[in-house]
Every structure is written in C-alpha cells, then in structure tokens.
A and B are shown apart, each in its own frame.
Chain A
Amino acid sequence: MYWRYAVRRILYAVVMYAIVIFIFSALFNAVAETTQMAQITEQVNAESRGVQQASQMRPEEIQQWRADRRTQLIQQYHLDEPIVSRIFWRTLNTLTFNLGQSTQIRSSAGENDVWLVIKERIPRTLILFMTAVVIDVLIGVWLGLRKARKAGGLMDRTTSIVTMVLYGLPSWWLGMLMIMIFAFTFPIFPSGSMHSTPAPTGALANFVDLLYHMALPVIALVLLRFWGRAYITRNIVLGTLQEDFIMSARARGITERKVLYGHTLRSSAPPIVTMSLLALLASFGGALIFEGIFSWPGMGNLYWVAVQQNDVPVLMGNLALTTGLYIAGLALLDLIYGLLDPRVKVGGKA
C-alpha cells in the first residue's frame, strides 16, 4: 500500500526534524539565551522610557517597574526554568515557527520577526537552485547515456577526466571568476542581486529581468556540476547494461537506441532520480556561499549577512528552516523512489 508507506515516511521525517531541532537547541542554547537576555533588557529599557514619560513615576517606582517587567518577560520566555526545560521550550518554539525577533536584519517590509525575514527568501533560493539542477540533470543524464553507450571510447574517457579535474573545484570560486570576467571586465551580465533597480514594470519585463540576473549564477553552477552527474549516470547505466534482460532485448533484435532509452533508462530511473534530488539537496546546503557571491537575496545569503551582523536569532532560525527543507527533501526523495521502484514500499528489510 503506497499511502501507508507514504504516511509512515512523512511521520518519520517529522520525528527526525524534531530530534534534530532538539539537538540544535541544546547545542546552541547558551548563545541563544545570551541574545534573548540582551533583547529583554533592551525591550525593558525602551518600555520604561515610554512609561516614565506617560505617568511621571518616581525613580524608585521606575526601578521597581523595570524589575517587575523583566521578571515577567523572563517568565514568559521560560528563562527561569531549569536547563532541560529551557531547551525543551526552545525546541517547541522552533518547531512552531516561533523563531523570535531578529537583532539587526529586517524583512523587505521592515518586520523583525525572524520567520517573516526567512520566509520571503525561501522561494528565491528555490527558484535559483531548482533551475540550475533541472538544466544540470538534463544535460548530465543525456551526456551520461552517451558516455555509457560508448564506454571506454574517446568521448567517455575525456569527459571522465574533466569530471575528475573539476571534482574539488569550489563552485563559488568559479562564480567569482565569472563575475570578474563577465560582469566587470566585459560588462555583459549584472554582477549580482535578483532584479535591476528600479525593477522593470510589467510581468513579462520582470520575468526577463529575473532571467537576465539568473543567467550568470545558473551557468556557473551548471558548468561545474553536470560532469559529475554524467559520470554517475554512466556508472548506473553501465551497471544496468550488464543485466540479463538487456542481453535478451538485444538478442531479440531491438535497436540499440530503444534498448538504451527504453529498457535501460526505465530500470535505471530510480537511482538517477535519487541522484538528481540528492544533487538538489546538496546544492541547497552547499550553495549558500554561492548566493553570497552573487548577492542573490536567498537563504544562503542570509547566513552570510547574519554572520556579519552577528544576528543570532536569524542564524538559528535560518538553520532550523534549512534543515526542515532538507529533511522534507529527503522524505520527498523516498516517496518518489517508492513510486518508481515498487520493491521499496513493501517494507522488506534492506
């Protein structure tokens, strides 16, 4: 039953998310609490100034009021409780997207709620990396199939060497070079950000503008990644090509083309899909430097900004949400895999 498998997998992801968030809360508890205490002090100071102006209280009364307010806030955030319970409350808040207030960073509308700051950035990150991964996988799978068809041939060998040469090259460094060449030396593309300022009016012009800004980062990402994708595809396909059913298909006189794109690709599909989605997930985490280089206003860039401005709540919230998306992606991967490969959802022991 597929739906039963699906429900179980999703529940499992939720539990896993809770566990990971609990670990994060414990790990970063000290720094998060220091920030929160500082924020409480700041809030009490700001409020007491307002109260003082409004009610003309005497200094002792103000002192008293401030102390009371402070205790009240500390109680509200459960900061007076023992450490295990503090970590527990932090976990619960994070799980319910109650990520607190940022110290410096504001959303584009000016709010300082961490959830709102991050929320508006999620689609921007997704659009950039999904585009890149789709192009990258299409080229990679196509090249991989060609490589497997003439495995050991000149094309296969040279592309494999390129794969290895590019293996340890940081994508963000290629990004830097491309900005240096195509944005400053030859100003063909913009050097960063997502839209021109002022943004063009009209949906179509806006879309073209977005594509124009996306071109350089996407090219840089694809240029570096599809080789590896092709190499893995080749290995998967090469493994399948040695199966008996391929030999029998060939023996029946089916054309090589049909064998490759029909039989082989169908049975190699599950691992190829896994590989592609894993690539998306890896790029999601790994490309946060990349966004910083291209000043793409996504979640990766936010890490950069949060580190520079020492905005701990944003950093923590961003980590929690990145992890959430990551785990959701892993679950999605298994769900798709289950659809493609019926053996998985039976739930036999691996």
Chain B
Amino acid sequence: MKRKDMSQLRAFWNEFKRVKFGIVGLVLFVVFVLIVLLEPVLMPYRDANDRWRDMTYWLDSPRNAKPVWVNWFTAKDYAVAEVLEPTSVTESQVGSVRMITMEFDYDFHYQRPPSDLQLVTRLTGNASVQMELIRPDGETLSYQRSTSSSGTRELRLSIAQNLQDKVFRLAIPFADADVIAVENPETIDAVATLFAVAGPGMLRDTEPLEGNYVCRLTVALGSSESSVDAAHVIIAGGVAGWMGTDASKRDIWSGLIAGTKWALLIGLLTSFVSVAVGVVYGVVAGYFGGWIDSMMNRVFEVFLSMPLLPILIVMSAVFKPSIWTMIIMMCLFFWVGPVKTVRSMALQIKENTYIEAAKALGASHRRIVFRHLLPQLVPYAFATMALSVPAAIVYEASISLIGLGDATVVTWGQILQDAYASGAVLQGTWWWVVPPGIAIALMGMTFAFIGFAMDTILNPKLRTR
C-alpha cells in the first residue's frame, strides 16, 4: 500500500476512535470473532456442529431444562443436570462369576427434584444386574435383572419410565392411606417421590430430602467374554447448561456458539461480495456514462423492482439451497444497495481536473477507475458493508424460520424455527426463544455501531458540533 493511502487510513482511524459507540461496536466484533475462534473451548457438546439433528447424541441431557442461572433468582433451586461417573469400582471373583460393583454418589441439595434419574451402561454377553438406590435416610430401592444374549446392548434404567412401581412400593409404608388408595405407579411423579422426605406427603405433596444418595450397580458376569462398561448415572435436572435445553434435549448454549460462525460468515461474505459488486457497478456506470450508463441503469432497475424477501423465499422453496447457494442468492439481490449513491459520487469525482489530467497523460480507463475513482469510495463502501451485514443475517434467519434453511448447519434462525415449530412460544419456553433472537440482535447492533460510526465521519453534514 502506498504511503498516501496509509496516512489516509490513519486519519480515518483517528476520527473513528473518537466515536464512542463505534469503539463499542469494534469491541463486540472482536468478541464475536473470539467466540468463533474459541468454539471448541466454549462449547460443552463438542460435536454439536455435526450432530445437532442427531437425537441419539443428546440422549443424556434433560428435556426442556431451564438455564442454570435461573437458580440464582429462585427461592427453590432446581436440580442441576449432571452425569455421574462411578466414585468407586470393586471387582471380585466368586467361583466362575466375576462380580463388579460400582457406586455413584449423588449429593442432592436442591429444593426441586430432577425430572429423571437414569442408570446407563453397556453390557456384553451374560450378565445379571442389580441396582440399588440408597437414600440418605437409609431407605433402599432395588432392582434386579439378568440378561443373556450375545452381543453388546445398552441398558437404560429410568426411574420415571421403568421403575415407577418400585418407587411406589417404597412409599407405601409412609404415605397417606387415602392417597395410596387413589394413586397408582402410573399416576405418581416417581422421581419426586424418590427424592422426598419419607412421610404422609410422599406421594402428592412431596418435600425434597436433601443429602447424599448412593446408586450401587452390581453386575455378575458369567463368562470371560462378558463385560460391562461405560456405566454412568444421568440426573435429568430442571436446569442444565448456560442456556438450558430444548424439547429435543439439545443444549441451546452449544447451538448459539455453533451458530455464531455461520452468522458472521453469512453476514460478512454476503455484504462484502454484494457491496463490492455494487460499488464497481456504480462506478463503471457513472464513469462511462452515455449508453453504457443507461443500459446498466435499466438492469439495475429491474433488480430494484423485485421485492427481496418474497423472491428469496420462493427461490429457496423451489431450489432448496445449501448455506452457500443461499449466500449467492442473497448477493444476487443485495448488490443494488450502494449502486445509486456510488454512481452519483462517481459522477462528481470524474469532473475533477486531476481525472482530466490523468486522461491527458494517456491513462487507461481501467487505471482511472481503479486508481482514482474506487479508492475514494472505499470508506463509503466499508460503511455500507457494515450496515448491510445485519440485513443478510436477518434474511437468512427469516428463510430458516419458514423452514427452508440448510439443514446441515446450525444457525440461529434454525434454532428459532425449531422453537417456533414445536410450540415454544405457546408453552412459554422463553430460554429457547429469547437467546437466539438476542444473538441476532447483538450481532446486528455490533455492525450497526460500526457502520453508523463510519457514516457520521463520512457525512460531515450530520455532525452536530
């Protein structure tokens, strides 16, 4: 770059520094870039990018859990979702049978029970399984099961789905006789009862019993080929992760982080390509004038006469685009934005005597356009780029909301579409609807700050002092 350009750039930067909200915008932009760069660190579910729609990936999370910070504002804390690994594993040999005992400690100190407790493990070959759940007050729930088949299969014992009758039996000595008479294992909230103080209200008006719960898994393996592995206990808490989970058990925070890079990509790529094309188009039309200008003007006006979102939606519905073709489609219509202003600016600039001098010296058209006209429009182009980033993001989100997005990536719009389609608005699942929208708005605000700051510098008329 030439020294003249550098000093111009430095002067621009000096002015930009003085606009406070411009700096705020830049800082936010850096934060977004950092989020993209630190994605592996920030995202608790590493494979969220590739397996967002793979329901088996999310099995271990609770459904519709609130964000963890909800506990900071409630008097009665929700149980936090956890996955417990065994705290102790002992192995012993009894004759030909191998006994493996694993213990899971769960320190329950919340005022609202989780929605489920599941013991998950993988068994191979002949195995007999015993599960014991020992409550802080000594009451114990036990369950036994033998399996004998070749091959590996997953054992998933859920309190809420498989063991209601055990829980019910556990409560019978304590609960109110009238309540026992009308309830049955299918109607009670088994998990709440399991985590309740033993007493008359154990089945209906449960009061949580805090303390250390031990889940003991004993597996008797019949042969040397048999094995047990990957045992863990899932506490499906009422709150999970920074942004909670959705109706498909997905971690919304991971989705938001994964969506950041796509929002930046869609916004920056679309605005860069379309503004670059628009500026060159406007300059060429303005500089050459005559029939070239009027022809280019007609083409421009045809594009201007198409309502943007409807045509994008119809094109998406017909051509089923990927994220890349969607960006191309948006560029196809976004470039008209800066053309009018750039053309009139070019008309002004080309009347300057130095252009005439350049012509007299025999400079080619290309040289004049690229050396004398375009550099002067660069600041304007950057301001327009910044200001058209939010529009691109919102358009992608809108197309996704109708259900026409690229299903192989995670974007904020698609998270909103899932939320809308599964009735989150109606059910009041605010942690599913609010964060993606805030993310879109924040990203829009970032570029609005940067763009408006440049705009105030470029339009001295708008300056107030």
Query: A interface vs B, CB < 8 Å?
Result: 16-17, 19-20, 23-24, 27-28, 31, 151-152, 156, 160-161, 163-170, 172-174, 176-177, 179-180, 184-185, 191, 235, 238-239, 242, 281, 284-286, 288-289, 292-293, 303-304, 306-308, 312, 315-316, 318-319, 322-323, 326-327, 330, 350
The interface residues of chain B lying within 8 Å CB-to-CB of A27 are 315
CB A185 to nearest CB in B, in angstroms, measures 6
Which B residues from 380 to 412 make CB contacts under 8 A with A?
387, 389-391, 393-394, 397-398, 401-404
In the complex, what's the smallest C-beta–C-beta distance from A33 to chain B, in angstroms? 12
- Cα A284 to Cα B306 in complex, Å, equals 12
Q: Which residue of B lies closest to A30 (CB)?
A: B318
The 8 Å CB contact of B305, one of A161, A318, A326, is A326
Q: Which residues of B contact A (CB under 8 A)?
A: 21, 301-302, 304-311, 313-315, 317-318, 344, 387, 389-391, 393-394, 397-398, 401-404, 416, 420, 425-426, 428, 430, 433-434, 437, 440-441, 443-445, 447-449, 452, 459, 461-462, 464-465
A215–B232 Cα distance when bound, in Å, is: 52
Q: Let me know if A170 and B397 touch, CB within 8 A.
A: yes
10 contacts between A and B (CB under 8 A): A16-B302, A167-B447, A168-B447, A169-B437, A173-B440, A180-B433, A184-B428, A242-B461, A292-B401, A319-B314
| A164 x B21 contact (CB < 8 A) | yes
Given A168-B441, A307-B403, are A179 and B425 also a contact pair (CB < 8 Å)?
A: yes
When distances are taken between beta carbons in the complex, the residues of chain A under 8 Å from B402 are 289, 292, 303-304, 307
The answer to whether B401 and A164 have CB atoms under 8 Å apart is: no
Known: A31-B318, A152-B464. A323 touches B305 (CB 8 A): yes
Complex contact B305–A20 (CB within 8 A)? yes
A residues in contact with B445, CB < 8 Å: 164-168
Q: B425 near A180 (CB under 8 angstroms)?
A: yes
Q: List residues of chain B with CB within 8 A of the CB of A166.
A: 441, 445
Q: Which of A160, A285, A307, A330 contacts B317 (CB 8 A)?
A: A307
Is B307's CB under 8 angstroms from A322's CB? yes
Bound Cα distance from A302 to B302, whole angstroms: 25
Give A299 Cβ to nearest chain B Cβ, in Å.
9
A228 to B464, CA, bound (A): 18
Please measure, in the bound complex, the distance between the C-alpha atom of A172 and the C-alpha atom of B21, giving whole angstroms.
26
- The reply to whether A152 and B465 contact each other, CB–CB distance below 8 Å, is yes
By DSSP majority rule, is chain B's interface helix, strand, loop, or mixed? helix
Residues in A neighbouring B304, C-beta threshold 8 A: 330
Cβ–Cβ contact A20 & B302, under 8 A: yes
Chain A residues within 8 Å of B397, by CB = 170
Alpha-carbon distance between A242 and B448 when the two chains are bound, in angstroms:
26
Which residues of B have CB within 8 Å of A316?
314
Docked CA distance A292–B315 (Å):
18
- A23 partner residues in chain B, CB cutoff 8 A: 302
Instruction: Tell whether, in the assembled complex, residue B398 and residue A289 are in contact, meaning their CB atoms are under 8 Å apart.
Output: yes
Q: What are the residues of chain B within 8 A of A152 when measuring CB–CB?
A: 464-465
User: With A168-B445, A285-B307, A319-B310 in contact, do A184 and B426 touch (Cβ < 8 Å)?
Assistant: yes
Whether A184 pairs with B425 at a CB distance below 8 angstroms is: yes
In the complex with contacts A177-B434, A289-B398, A292-B402, A28-B390 CB distance below 8 A: no
Q: Which residues of B contact A179 (CB under 8 A)?
A: 425
Q: Which residues of A contact B398 (CB under 8 A)?
A: 170, 172, 289
Q: Is the CB of A177 within 8 A of B452?
A: no
Known contacts A173-B440, A330-B305; decide if A168 and B318 are in contact (CB<8 Å).
no
User: Per a CB cutoff under 8 Å, which of B393, B430, B462 touches A180?
Assistant: B430
CB <8 Å contact, B307 and A167:
no
Contacts of B440 in A (CB 8 A): 168-170, 173
Complex CA distance for A163 and B398, rounded to whole angstroms: 21
Closest to B347 in A: A350
Given known A176-B420, A288-B309, contact A307–B447 (CB-CB < 8 A): no
Looking at the assembled complex, report how far the CB atom of B315 sits from the nearest CB atom of chain A, in whole angstroms: 8
Contact indicator B425/A16 (Cβ below 8 Å): no
Residues of A within 8 A of B426 (CB): 184, 191
Nearest CB in chain B to that of A326: its residue: B307
Distance to closest chain A CB from B350 (angstroms): 15
Task: For B461, give the chain A residue with the smallest CB separation.
Answer: A239
Structural contact, A286 and B309, CB atoms closer than 8 A: yes
For A316, give the chain B residue with the smallest CB separation.
B314
**Cα separation A242 to B461 with both chains bound (whole Å):** 8
A180 to B431: give the CA distance in the assembly, Å: 12
Q: Which of A167, A185, A285 contacts B309 (CB 8 A)?
A: A285
C-alpha gap A169/B443 in the complex (Å)? 9
Known: A28-B318, A169-B441, A307-B317. 10 other contacts (CB 8 A): A23-B302, A156-B464, A164-B448, A170-B394, A170-B397, A174-B437, A176-B425, A323-B305, A323-B307, A326-B307
Q: Which A residues lie within 8 Å of B449 (CB)? A: 164
Closest A residue to B302 using CB positions: A19
A319→B425 contact, CB < 8 A: no
Take A151-B464, A316-B314 as given contacts and tell me if A177 and B433 are in contact as well, using a CB distance cutoff of 8 Å.
yes
Which A residue's beta carbon lies closest to that of B419? A176
| Contact between A168 and B390, CB atoms less than 8 A apart | yes
Q: Which residue of A lies closest to B413 (CB)?
A: A170
Tell whether A315 pairs with B437 under 8 Å between CB atoms, given A20-B306, A168-B394, A322-B310.
no
Assembly CA distance A344 to B389 (angstroms): 33
Query: In whole Å, how far is B336's beta carbon from the nearest beta carbon of chain A?
Result: 13
Q: Is the CB of A17 within 8 A of B305?
A: yes
Q: In the complex, what residues of B have CB within 8 A of residue A170's CB?
A: 394, 397-398, 437, 440-441
Distance in angstroms from A274 CB to nearest chain B CB is 12
Q: Which residue of B lies closest to A285 (CB)?
A: B307
Known: A168-B394, A176-B420. A319 touches B311 (CB 8 A): yes
Q: Which residue of A lies closest to B394 (CB)?
A: A170
B310 near A318: Cβ-Cβ < 8 Å: yes
Chain B residues positioned under 8 Å from A161 (CB to CB): 21
Chain A residues within an 8 Å CB radius of B310: 285, 288, 303, 318-319, 322-323
CA distance A327 to B394 in the complex (A): 23
Question: In whole angstroms, what is the CA distance A151 to B403 when docked?
Answer: 44
**Once the chains are docked, how many angstroms separate the CA of A237 from the CA of B309?**
31
CB-defined contacts of B420 to chain A, threshold 8 Å: 176, 293
A165 contacts across to B, CB distance below 8 A:
441, 445, 448
B434 to chain A: closest CB distance in Å? 7
Q: How far is the CA of A96 from the CA of B402 in the complex (A)?
A: 30
For B394, list chain A residues within 8 Å (CB).
168, 170
With a 10 A CB-CB cut-off, give which of B308, B314, B443 has the most chain A CB atoms: B314
Give the complex CA separation of A20 and B299 in angstroms. 11
Contacts of B21 on A, CB cut-off 8 Å? 161, 164
- Provide the bound-state CA to CA distance between A219 and B447, in Å: 26
Say how far A237's CB is from chain B's closest CB, in angstroms.
11
